[in-house]
Amino acid sequence: MSLLKDWVNMKVSVSKSQVHGILDAPSSKSYTIRALMCAALSPGQSYIRRALSSDDTLAAADVLQKIGTDVRQSAYGWRVSGGKLKAPDSELFCRDSAATFRFMIALSALVPGTVRLVPGPGLAKRPVLPLLDSLAQLGVKCRMDGSVVVVEGNSFTGGTVKLAGDVSSQFISALLLAAPLAQQGLHIELTTPLTSKPYLDMTIECLKKFGIRVSAASDMANFKVARQDYRPTEYTVEGDWSQASYLLTLGALSGEVVVTNLNAESLQGDRVVLNLLQKMGARLSVRRNSVMVQKSFLHGVTADLTDCIDLLPTLAVLAATAEGESHFRGIKGARLKESNRVDALKQELQKMGVRVREEENLLSIMGGRLRGAVIDSHADHRMAMAFGVLGTSVGDTTILGAESVEKTYPEFWKALTSLGARIESDVKQTG
């Protein structure tokens, strides 16, 4: 399974556009990967309906197949035959999918044999040692070999582990995914307050669908998982609020957009984009499965993004066009994403004439008149999508590294074009 293209790089030029139309939000990347992991640990066949097919989710499917899981795609979804883990014959290349890499590190402790997990070049720069330290506390033999993580399997018996809650919620999700198959069960104690809480809620919800119960303290500082067996199931992936945020922003800046395939009751933290758009003055209408947003006069906003950090690029481009100054707190974690998004946003917005002030955990943006510019995506899918949307409002904007959207939303540029965005692409291929 692969979406990897043979291009060296891609750039798109975005002209000022008037957009209008209806479009499905793509399926959730986070839920797709979690469902794949749960299905791989469930003896028997599971069906994942409306699974997202992107570079990140295909990375997960690829590595799971190498440890004994059969994953087959069809027009109706993915059929996953799991429950029979084996040592891989080769290294597990996780591409630049942080969720795949981190979840698989924990799952590898259940595999009968040695597993070598290889991150892509961007992912190799992101933190992983706290997860290895946690596994070591539980008696798992694991180590770094350069940027490669080596795990000696069949060593995850469970017990009690302590780790920080404010580095990455994926470390905790990884442990929760492996926990049911630990003979002693698992007790997780967080030593610092949890950030990105909604992602833990999503993990626990997905586990429940596959028959696993997690006991979590009301403040999400402690988690207990008893020894349990996964049960195969039929799982339908809901729409992705993170990706929908770009389409909703497109409507607020450049026309009228209706986004469907959205669960208004979703646990996804990025659903808060609706509240933030309303606070900024966007005209929107919410129905059970869809949201309509119309071009609006926006004003600045103050928001804490601790639990929805992936919205920072979306909100930054909205703030750049809004009247007054916006302040975004709780953004420290954005420095540890595919790029240092705080620095990257500051650099690229300043190219467009925007005044930006940065502190360790605060980004302030003064809205005003913008000019087109050549924008570096910093090989970051969310940077590319956010500035692509902004380009439809400003015009004369070129996005370098536009192929980075393959990571989570391969159809993004086609989606914008289908809504009336004026986009021209230039792809340089190998050979």
Residues annotated as catalytic (active site), given as ranges: 310
Q: Is the alpha carbon torsion for 33, 180, 211, 131 positive or negative?
A: negative
Give the H/E segment covering residue 279: helix 273-279
User: 64, 177 in Cβ contact below 8 A?
Assistant: no
Give the H/E segment covering residue 303: strand 302-304
Nearest to 375 by CA among 352, 355, 394, 354: 352
Ramachandran area for residue 161 (φ above 0: left; ψ -120 to 50: alpha; else beta):
beta
Please give the sequence-ordered ranges of beta strands (E in DSSP) within 5-164, or none if there are none.
Answer: 7-15, 19-24, 44-49, 70-74, 77-82, 92-93, 114-118, 141-145, 148-152, 159-163
**What is the distance between the alpha carbons of residues 149 and 107, in angstroms, rounded to a whole number?**
13
- Count of beta carbons in the 10 Å neighbourhood of residue 165: 21
**What is the distance between the alpha carbons of residues 53 and 406, in angstroms, rounded to a whole number?**
10
**What is the distance between the alpha carbons of residues 361 and 431, in angstroms, rounded to a whole number?**
44
Strands 159-163 and 186-190: parallel
User: 81, 127 in Cβ contact below 8 A?
Assistant: no
**What is the distance between the alpha carbons of residues 202 and 224, in angstroms, rounded to a whole number?**
16
User: 188, 176 in Cβ contact below 8 A?
Assistant: yes
Find residue 93's DSSP bridge partners.
Answer: 118
- Please name the residue that has the structure tokens 């570079």: 55
Please give the sequence-ordered ranges of beta strands (E in DSSP) within 312-417, or none if there are none.
Answer: 325-329, 355-359, 362-366, 374-376, 397-400
